[in-house]
Amino acid sequence: MAKPKIATASLAGCFGCHMSVLDIDERILKLIELVDFDKSPIDDIKKFTGRCLVGLIEGGCANEENVHNLKYFRENCDILISVGDCAINGGLPAMRNNIPLKECLDEAYLNGPTVYNPSGKIPSDKEIPLCLDRVYPCHEVVKMDYHLPGCPPSADTIWEALVALLNNKPLDLPYELIKYD
Amino acid sequence: MSDTNLKRIVIEPVTRVEGHGKVSLLLDEKNNIKQARLHIVEFRGFERFIVGRPYWEVPVLVQRLCGICPVSHHLAAAKAMDIIAGVDELTPTAEKMRRLMHYGQMFQSHALHFFHLCSPDLLFGFDADPAIRNVIGVAQKFPELAVQGVMMRKYGQEIIKVTAGKKIHGTGAIPGGINKNLSIAERDALLKDIDQMVDWSVAVVKIAKDYTLDNVELAKTFGTFDSNHLGFVREDGAMDLYHGNLRAVDKDGNKIFDQVDYKNYLDYIVEEVKDWSYMKFPFIKSIGPENGWYRVGPLSRVNICDFIDTPLAEKERKEFMAITNGKPNNMTLAYHWTRMIEILHSIEKIKELLNDPDLQGTDLVKKGKRRAEAVGLIEAPRGTLFHHYKVDENDQVTMANLIVSTTNNNTPMNTAVQKVAEQHLSGKPEITEGLLNHIEVAIRAYDPCLSCATHAMGKMPLIVSLFDHKGDLIDKKAKE
């Protein structure tokens, strides 16, 4: 029987949650015996190759591309997990949510002490995505099945959650693994 | 140039790098490359939302720029906040604990990059089947090497944990010092494996060196171009990854400036804004935007230093410099070799520090007379990292300017993308996945942390989306 597939994505996050996945250390060798990795930044699979059992989502939604990617994951994964505080509540990037846009724009591209911008132009190319008005948690965009809190959640938390799901067991993690740090 | 007759190819997302980026290629009807660009597509806005926060919060807050090198941001901010707190020199315990944390960070980050992200390209070939061209493929075909990589990264993470409190986003450094020392038990646990780590580091330098020398004809041209190099060195010219003065050299090794106190960085570095990337393009002020851009990171650091003060890494440095007769090496693929020289240097430094009784000292924090402005720099794994803050009398940050390591490499990465596109894709009847991966190989050599590089506020053409309680989109309006 084919192994179940796992996919991972980083939306508006810092990759710390992906690092925490790697912090399962030598257990990663066990993990790759249990599952196949599909679309993920750690491999070169850029489009889903098949239905995934589990999708791990790091980061919230800060631009249209994040929303698009999150929906794409929802369509292709049976179980979608918000991993870490950015996915769950926007996290630190959501600190921008109450800042007027013009102030930010002027600071970064016109007024910053190292800015060199003789034309006074501000990045606006069609290749770079439009930003959302604010940073949204993932569950405001699509249904999420589980939330693993922490910045980032510990490697043990991620490991225990995956092992339970892969064995079709209820996700009943002890308090020390799900407490907010 | 009108692009109506041009064919557009997009590599999206760029994978096996840390963060979010994409490459766009425009080709004419004969598949000749007209334009190749690396776009940074995320923005987060740290420089603006730090404003108003209390200054002691910043070293913890800015770590969230990056989960791969949080320690670098933590320490660059802490170094700046030491100055704000009026402290010019830390206690030996504080300084050495921070150094240990930093070398642990360098060790884990370089291991991560080499084994988990780039080794598949080197081991399987740039156009190998993408199904195996990843760390899982490496684990299946070269299990011993994969285990070694995992254990090396783990060791670096353990060092971060005992110095910063946790592996990712710790809280070790505080303005004026550090909040813990290293216990004897923690020290002994780390010393147990240190010789194994040194041996593995020597072995991995050899892998990177042999790869480069076996493929030297490829390395001479693959995404290779002349450039300036920037970084900092100790007062005696030695490599120092934690603290030093700025030095910049040109492609031949002539000094552009040297031993510049980094608090004066505004006199030397500016960042150009371009409309197709959220990441700015830094250059050396006196030379100008056309020719003043430079590279940073392992290649530049090995190129610019006069020597390395640990014996095994110094031996490797000499061997590396010999292939270009002591002149700067401008090969993009040589980043891998120099990154492994630094991994060896870092583990030698870690061993030295672990045996230093100052780490068990109890004098952890100093206090001084408050100041209003500070610059903190560090050599992060990917290169020179600039943090600059102003703080008001209410202890709140009023200005933050960050030039992250990967931003410094923005023009070089774009130049590498352009070069490889011209060298390997231009005029080909068919652009295959393998050919496109060549472009990613060139980007990957810089170990770009696009996660860090997305800190800058971009233009925010606004999309307002309205969702109902089930998360279904009910309305969406876009405003340019």
Mean pLDDT value across chain B: 90
Cβ contact B457–A125 (<8 Å): no
The reply to whether A167 touches chain B by the CB within 8 Å rule is: no
CA distance B79 to B376: 5
Task: Pick A107's closest partner by Cβ from B22, B47, B61.
Answer: B47
CA distance A66 to A63: 5
The reply to whether A72 touches chain B by the CB within 8 Å rule is: no
- Strands A77-83 and A146-148, by their bridges, are parallel
Over range B310-321, report the average pLDDT. 98
Best of B280, B437, B457 to disrupt the A interface (most A CBs within 10 Å) is: B457
Over range B109-114, report the average pLDDT. 94
Judge contact between A173 and A162, C-beta under 8 A: no
Q: What is the pLDDT of residue B333?
A: 94
Q: Give start and end residues of each alpha helix (H) in B305-432.
A: 311-322, 334-354, 405-408, 410-420
Q: Say what the pTM is.
A: 0.92
Q: How confident is the model at residue B469 (pLDDT cuts 50, 70, 90)?
A: very low
Helices (H) and strands (E) in chain A, counts: 7, 8
CA distance B416 to A88: 37
Give chain A's radius of gyration (CA, Å). Answer: 18
Q: Which residues of B touch A23 (CB under 8 A)?
A: 154, 157, 167-168
Query: B453 vs chain A: nearest CA distance in angstroms?
Result: 10
Is the pLDDT at A110 greater than 60? The verdict is yes
Our CA dihedral for B46, B49, B51, B53, rounded to 10 degrees, sits at -100
CA distance A33 to A54: 15
Per-residue pLDDT tens for B228-272? Answer: 999 999 999 999 999 999 999 999 999 999 999 999 999 999 999
Best of B37, B63, B64 to disrupt the A interface (most A CBs within 10 Å) is: B64
Q: How confident is the model at residue B451 (pLDDT cuts 50, 70, 90)?
A: low
| A16 vs A106, more confident | A16
Cβ contact B66–A91 (<8 Å): no
Query: A131 vs chain B: nearest CA distance in angstroms?
Result: 6
Q: Residue A162: helix, strand or coil by DSSP?
A: helix
Q: What is the pLDDT of residue B479?
A: 38
* Burial of B311 from C-beta contacts in 10 A (0-12 / 13-18 / 19+): exposed
The reply to whether A63 touches chain B by the CB within 8 Å rule is: yes
Is the pLDDT at B331 greater than 80? The verdict is yes
DSSP 8-state secondary structure symbol assigned to residue B245: E
Is the pLDDT at A43 greater than 70? The verdict is yes
Over range A2-16, report the average pLDDT. 92
Which of B460, B63, B400, B49 has the alpha carbon at shortest distance from A114?
B400
Best of B136, B399, B439, B476 to disrupt the A interface (most A CBs within 10 Å) is: B136
Q: How confident is the model at residue A107 (pLDDT cuts 50, 70, 90)?
A: confident
Query: A169 vs chain B: nearest CA distance in angstroms?
Result: 26
DSSP 8-state secondary structure symbol assigned to residue B114: I
Per-residue pLDDT tens for B394-436? Answer: 999 999 999 999 899 999 999 999 999 999 988 888 888 888 8
Query: A38 vs chain B: nearest CA distance in angstroms?
Result: 9
